[in-house]
């Protein structure tokens, strides 16, 4: 249903919900990670929820009520003119799947996916591993057979498109880009920001990166030789800080010095 829901922790009752992509025909389910911060929004202190959605729009909600506060594209998108005052998309014609196929941005993997963004209370930036890619969406006649996979449509890559990605720092209350570190291909790895002014991320080409959290300047990298599809984490042991990340079927651990 492409919704974010808030439940009462004591009773399990629904407190509010927000639907990002009504009548989703591109598989942009809302599997992304919400980020909670307290900040001034348009001059008022608010409890905010930040949500860079798979559909390529960035949303800011009031997390106590679910009220829509802000929405704007944070990656290339061609399916909506924008969002109305309630946060519902204003769809563009000619963007639904067809038998021949319809090119639409973002791709089925979205501008963001299941992996984690990160917020730094020091820089006051939201860091997102952002995907810049489209897809050709199509449907066809599929006969249902019990016990067999049933798909009425699908997607394929856009011929000649140069897909790419970036680790971006966004200003959370406006969605503006503060800095960008470009990647060769759309990432499938999350990011981690630390109190030491670092942002860790990774690439499909096997690199684990450390960037300056304030500027995006690359500071360190490690080539692991395989696609990274995980989130970085940090922990303390015996007074030392470590950063760990899985790469392929291996776990890599680094000591910060």
Starting from the edge strand earliest in sequence, which strands make up the sheet with 218-223, in order?
A: 192-193, 198-202, 207-212, 218-223
Q: Is the peptide bond before 28 cis (omega within 30 degrees of 0)?
A: no
Buried b (16+ CB within 10 A) or exposed e, 3-14: ebebeeeeeeee
The token pair at 169 is 């720092």
Closest to 212 measured CA to CA, from 167, 172, 252: 167
8 is catalytic: no
Q: Is 94 exposed, middle or buried (0-12, 13-18, 19+ CB in 10 A)?
A: exposed
- HEC string for 204-232: CCCEEEEEECCCCCEEEEEECCCCCCCCC
Cβ-based neighbour number of residue 29 at 10 Å: 18
The token pair at 218 is 């690359």
Catalytic residue of the set 2, 10, 27, 122: 27
**Coil, strand, or helix at residue 164?**
strand
Catalytic positions are 27
């Amino acid at each position: 249903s492409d919704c974010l829901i808030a439940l009462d922790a004591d009773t399990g009752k629904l407190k509010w919900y927000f639907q990002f992509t009504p009548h989703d025909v591109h598989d942009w389910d809302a599997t992304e990670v919400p980020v909670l911060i307290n900040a001034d929004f348009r001059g008022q202190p608010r409890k905010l929820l930040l949500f860079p959605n798979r559909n390529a729009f960035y949303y800011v909600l009031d997390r106590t009520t679910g009220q829509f506060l802000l929405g704007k594209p944070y990656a290339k998108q061609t399916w909506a003119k924008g969002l109305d005052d309630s946060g519902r998309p204003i769809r563009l014609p000619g963007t639904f799947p067809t038998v021949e196929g319809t090119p639409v941005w973002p791709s089925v993997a979205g501008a963001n996916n299941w992996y984690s963004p990160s917020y730094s209370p020091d820089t006051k930036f939201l860091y997102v591993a952002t995907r810049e890619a489209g897809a050709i969406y199509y449907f066809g006649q599929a006969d249902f057979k019990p016990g067999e996979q049933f798909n009425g449509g699908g997607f394929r890559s856009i011929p000649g498109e140069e897909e790419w990605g970036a680790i971006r720092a966004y200003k959370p209350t406006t969605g503006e880009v503060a800095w960008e570190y470009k990647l060769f291909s759309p990432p499938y790895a999350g990011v981690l920001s630390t109190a030491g002014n670092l942002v860790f991320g990774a690439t499909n080409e096997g690199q684990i990166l450390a960037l300056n959290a304030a500027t995006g300047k690359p500071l360190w990298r490690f080539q692991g030789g395989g696609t990274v599809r995980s989130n970085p984490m940090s922990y303390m042991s015996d007074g030392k800080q470590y950063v760990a990340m899985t790469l392929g079927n291996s776990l890599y651990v680094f000591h910060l010095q």
